Structure 1
Amino acid sequence: MAARDEEAGLGAARVLDGDEVQGVLSGAFYQAPPESTRMLRAERPTPKEKPTHYKVICISMYTKDLDQLDELVEKLKARGITKANRSALIRVALEQLDLDKVPRGL
């Protein structure tokens, strides 16, 4: 077993170059970029304010419902409504929703 461990050590030594390993360990590959390429804090663009009139959300839907939604979007696009997409179609459906017609078993 000891001979096998020695062989494994030699194999690793053949693959890894000592100078390269030392360079990685010393942080040579992770040094800060030269001063000429660094942007000073005052030069950085101010971050844009996040919009408050909408939020990005994640919802779960059955694949058959997504297929139906995509089919409806394609039909709208075929009718010339080129800006049709999933979220726009869901917004239109919400505007037209009659809560009295929603089944109890939802």
Structure 2
Amino acid sequence: MSDSKSLNHDPLSETDSILSQDFYGNGGHAPARPRRRRPSKPKPTHYKVICISMYTKDIQHLEEKVAELKRRGYTKANKSQLIRMALKQMDIDKLPPPQP
């Protein structure tokens, strides 16, 4: 390859500065004003958000129960409340023994 076809300057050598200034940076604009952060509220400790998996039929049944409660006037009924209520009523001593 002859010297006339080779580049005297590597255009990729300045990639980091180009990206940091133009792409990641402010592109030569005035610096943005820092956002004011609201004072963080202490996180509640009396509950936790969890994720559980349920069969779609069980979810449908749960949602039907909530809808029926709302129809009967319990306007603030929700799935979490219904599950908590069911847990309070469950007596594990009355469960049949597990099948081998």
TM-score, length basis structure 2:
0.66
Matched with 1:58 is 51
Q: Distance in 2 between matches of 1:38 and 1:80?
A: 48
Q: Distance in 1 between matches of 2:58 and 2:92?
A: 20
Matched with 1:30 is 24
Deviation at 1:30, TM superposition (A): 2.2
Deviation at 1:53, TM superposition (A): 0.2
Deviation at 1:26, TM superposition (A): 4.9
Q: Distance in 1 between matches of 2:38 and 2:31?
A: 18
What one-letter code is carried by the residue in structure 1 that aligns with 2:24? Y
Matched with 1:76 is 69
How many pairs were matched up? 83
Check conservation: 2:19, 2:25, Cα contact below 8 A.
Answer: no
3-state SS of paired residue (2:86): helix
Matched with 2:11 is none
TM-score, length basis structure 1:
0.63
For structure 2, which runs of at least 5 residues remain unmatched after alignment?
Answer: 1-14
Q: Distance in 2 between matches of 1:49 and 1:78?
A: 36
What one-letter code is carried by the residue in structure 1 that aligns with 2:34? R
Deviations 1:16-66 (A, max 9, x none): xxxxxx796353132257446224xxx533211111000001111111111
> How much is the aligned-residue C-alpha RMSD, in angstroms?
2.7
For structure 1, which runs of at least 5 residues remain unmatched after alignment?
Answer: 1-21
Mapped pair 1:94 → 2:90: no
